[in-house]
Amino acid sequence: METILKVEGLKKTFTLSKKQMKLEKTKDKKKVAVNGISFDAYRGEIFGLLGPNGAGKTTTLRMIATLIKPDAGDALVDGSSIVKDPGAVRGKIGFLTSELKLEDFFTPNYLYDFFSNLYGVDVATCKSRKEKLFKRFGIDEFAEVKIENLSTGMKQKVSIVISLVNDPDIIIFDEPTNGLDILTAKVVTDFLLDLKKQGKSIIVSTHIFSLVEKICDRVGIIIHGEMVCADTLERIQDGMSMEERFFEIFEAHGGRIDA
């Protein structure tokens, strides 16, 4: 199997504000969000990052997407280093996370063309891709409606489509079905499986066990900023449900389930 993403020893420490220190109930100004995470993702597979809130999933994905810089370690995205050549990495990936918002004033149609332009996609390709994606997600019906007038599900569909304007081989989705109704969540899940069939590599972070069981080929479990295990779904599950197995691993690594 061809490695398309190689993550080696990624580390990230944040400085906490006084307010954050109070919230985290700590006197330590530094918080290690990601502590030497390493894993590989292969071409044409869906790799799931599973972990509780605050485990370091989003920070890891933000580093791979070059939104933030790692304190140590590196990741090679289809051969390009996130540290040495972040510009090249950005051109190769599609990144979706809840913190990336679309400007309310514009329409899906305008925004798709705008981002295509920034990725250097030629007009004809942009048009044909847009037609396919808009049809696939039913965006045609609200293509000329301003983002501010769309529902959460509609906005998420537009965000997904815009993250794919450059037809990337590596797609990084951070909690793609979070906050979506069951119908929109299914559209998104089916689409991820379609992308996999097209030979795309998908890294998806989630804490929804059913989603992991349904779409992931391999899974990495992150607890307290460390990758505690990464393997195929079958080997990780070890005959158990994903939920049962996760909590077993979680508790084995010092995790506590507070009431």
Using CB under 8 A, list all residues that contact other proteins: 65-69, 87-88, 90-91, 95, 99-106, 110, 114-115, 117-120, 162
DSSP string, 139-178: GGGGTTS-GGGS-HHHHHHHHHHHHTTT--SEEEEESTTT
Nearest to 204 by CA among 215, 2, 179: 215
Judged by beta carbon, residue 114 or residue 128, the one nearer other proteins is 114
Cα 92 to Cα 4: distance, rounded to the nearest angstrom = 11
Residue 225 in 3-state DSSP?
coil
Judged by beta carbon, residue 35 or residue 80, the one nearer other proteins is 80
Judged by beta carbon, residue 68 or residue 228, the one nearer other proteins is 68
Judged by beta carbon, residue 13 or residue 213, the one nearer other proteins is 13
**Contact criterion met (CB below 8 Å) for 185 and 213:** no
Q: CA-based diameter of the chain, in Å?
A: 56
Q: Please report how close the Cβ of residue 259 comes to other proteins at its closest, in angstroms.
A: 33
Q: Please report how close the Cβ of residue 87 comes to other proteins at its closest, in angstroms.
A: 5
Q: Please report how close the Cβ of residue 219 comes to other proteins at its closest, in angstroms.
A: 25
Q: Would strands 3-15 and 30-42 be described as parallel, antiparallel, or unpaired? A: antiparallel
What's the token pair of residue 15? 């400085």
Judged by beta carbon, residue 26 or residue 117, the one nearer other proteins is 117
Cα 82 to Cα 73: distance, rounded to the nearest angstrom = 10
Q: Please report how close the Cβ of residue 154 comes to other proteins at its closest, in angstroms.
A: 17
Q: Please report how close the Cβ of residue 119 comes to other proteins at its closest, in angstroms.
A: 6
